[in-house]
Amino acid sequence: MLLNFDKIPKSDILFLDNNLLNLKIKNKSSIIYNFNEIRVYYLIIAIFDFCFKNENLNFKQVYKKKIYEAISPKVAISEYINQRSFEFKFLMPGTKVITYQFSFINNRNDILKKYKYKKTDYFFVFSILEKKLLSKIFQAKFIVSGSCISNSIKKMNKIKYDICYISEFSKPKNVSKKSLKQINKAHNNHQKIIVKNISYYCQKNKKKFVIALRTNRRDKSKNNLFNNKTEINYYKELISKNFKYEKNVNSYSVADKSKLIVCLSSALGIEMLGRQKKVLFLPFDQIIDKNRKNPYFKFKTEKIAFIKKNPNKIIGLIDKYLKLNKKEWIKYKNRNFHDLSFNYQNKLLKEKIIEIVNAK
């Protein structure tokens, strides 16, 4: 933890998510709250207030409230997983708060268990699906805007690769529960099956194959237990050098430059549907772990159980998807997936921020 002895400046906009969306609002002041530093001035005030004033808050909340009051923002913004926006609304009920969806939701019960505070002013969500679900849990005005993360990234129109695989590699976790060990092992085995078959297909048909590295994703970097080199070497061990990769280029841009995207059941895969890309999902994980069900699938994942045992089926699907024209793909997508919109540069979100900041 760093010690900071300075007073914190006032600001129109407070980011509680490290400004993950890279939002820039012209002529409006903004500040990113650093949760990894201690503001000594406000720490001293918090100690006094905690000891001598009864606010029914724990010490961390008293400390945060002092900082939030000093910043005096007109609006605070964060994604929903870190829960900071909900706590902020509890501590600063008079200030407007915007929360946005960060990934798709597998299990409604997880949210009910995890979230102590459930109030925010505006909740930007992926689709009607989440609006229906989250409106039963959270108090907010819901705005369907697609993925704010995807919206914030420039769309690449020039095609460079034939097939892109969205990496979901992670080091085996040290877990004691037998069922979790089996799930983790199966997850990486499923990736091996898919990647080896893509590599074989591309070599045979002279196609360009790229892997969108997980370690390039800003939203995954904090949770990764491995680095870029480890991930690249993992795939080299599987398929030698029969693939391309782009260092320090986000996965959205890499996938944008590909004719076909292949993945297990990645949230990024769903986001690419919103960006009007062809995506082949091979959700083998969902066969053994029902809690990993992707809410955007209309088809029953049990139907693909036999595919992983028959490599030719995977190769056949890759070939079929690559050859689908635009009209055929749209028809297939509408039949098999729930809709996800794409709001380029988060126009809806920016408009709401400006509206709040300009309000008297």
Question: For the segment 30-77, what is each residue's pLDDT rounded down to a tens digit?
Answer: 999 999 999 999 999 999 999 988 779 999 999 999 999 999 999 999
Q: Per residue in 80-117, pLDDT tens?
A: 999 999 999 999 999 999 999 988 876 666 676 788 99
Residue 221, pLDDT score:
53
Q: Per residue in 148-184, pLDDT tens?
A: 999 999 999 899 999 999 998 876 555 555 556 676 7
* Inter-residue contact 275 to 153 (CB < 8 Å): no
Residue 251, pLDDT score:
93
Residue 184, pLDDT score:
73
Residue 225, pLDDT score:
55
Q: Is the pLDDT reported for residue 242 higher than 70? A: yes
Domain 2-146+344-358 has CATH 3.40.50: yes
Residue 97, pLDDT score:
98
CATH class of this structure's domain 161-336: alpha beta
Q: Is the pLDDT reported for residue 236 higher than 60? A: yes
Model confidence at 217, in pLDDT bands (50, 70, 90)? Answer: confident
Domain boundaries, given as residue ranges, for the chain: 2-146+344-358, 161-336
Residue 302, pLDDT score:
64
Does the fold of domain 161-336 match that of domain 2-146+344-358?
A: yes
Residue 218, pLDDT score:
65
Residue 284, pLDDT score:
82
Q: What is the mean pLDDT of the chain?
A: 89
Q: Is the pLDDT reported for residue 197 higher than 60? A: yes
Model confidence at 185, in pLDDT bands (50, 70, 90)? Answer: confident
Residue 259, pLDDT score:
97
Mean pLDDT, range 320-341, rounded to an integer: 94
Residue 114, pLDDT score:
84
Residue 170, pLDDT score:
74
Residue 189, pLDDT score:
85
pTM given for the model: 0.89
